[in-house]
Amino acid sequence: MTLPDLLAFAERHHLLSLALVGITLALVYTEVARLFRGYKALRPAELTALINRDNALVVDLSASGDFEKGHIAGSKSVQPSQFDPESKLLASAKALPVVVVCRNGMASGAAAKRLKKAGFEQVYWLDGGVAAWQQADLPLVKGR
């Protein structure tokens, strides 16, 4: 396909061309924002390596009942309403890797942003949350 063919297509299909430009801009914006947000998404295998290699603190924002049904070994339960970067649990880990998880990865992204704003150096969140951990066939611990 040549440039004149592409231009002719764009002239004939205004809405499709506009949609392509919009989607392209949205993808570029999303990727640039991801680079500058200050915290990194982890997949389950990467989280396992970080825990084993760097003794990362894993903070689970799941509801108490969900946490007791199954959580990542060694993770600390913190209720989203009580999440505070200056809490005793978190303040002592400012220089350590801190990973925030929740059931599906939605609430943990906002918490990771708060930690980064509070001056935490190494902030991560589990992309997909505990559900992604389970899909990777990794074990969960039951109880407190």
Residue 30 confidence (pLDDT): 75
Q: What pLDDT is recorded for position 121?
A: 85
Q: Is residue 141 part of a domain?
A: no
User: What is the pLDDT averaged over residues 113-137?
Assistant: 90
Q: Over the stretch 16-38, which tens digit does the pLDDT of each residue have?
A: 989 998 999 998 887 777 666 67
Q: Are 68 and 94 in contact (CB under 8 A)?
A: no
Q: What is the pLDDT of residues 63-111, one digit of tens each?
A: 988 999 999 999 999 888 888 888 888 888 888 899 999 988 778 888 8
pLDDT at 34: 66
> For the whole prediction, is pTM greater than 0.75?
no
**Single-letter amino acid, residue 35:** L
Nearest-angstrom CA–CA distance, 16 and 110 = 34
- pLDDT number for residue 10: 87
pLDDT at position 106 is 79
Residue that the structure tokens 């992309």 belong to: 127
CB neighbour list of residue 98: distance below 8 Å, 6 or more residues apart: 56, 57, 59, 90, 115, 120, 122, 123, 124
| Residue 113 within a domain | yes
The span from the CA of 93 to the CA of 2, in Å, is: 57
Span 38-54, pLDDT tens digits: 788 899 999 999 999 98
The pLDDT assigned to 35 comes to 65
Tell me the angle at which helices 3-12 and 14-36 cross, rounded to the nearest 10 degrees: 110
> Do both 55 and 107 map to the same domain?
yes
106 is in which domain, residue-wise?
39-135
Structure tokens at 121: 């150096």
53 and 85 together in one domain:
yes
Residues 76 and 7 in one domain: no
Average pLDDT over residues 130-142: 91
User: Could you tell me the two tokens for 49?
Assistant: 């390596």
Distance CA 75, CA 126 (A): 12
* 77 shares a domain with 19: no
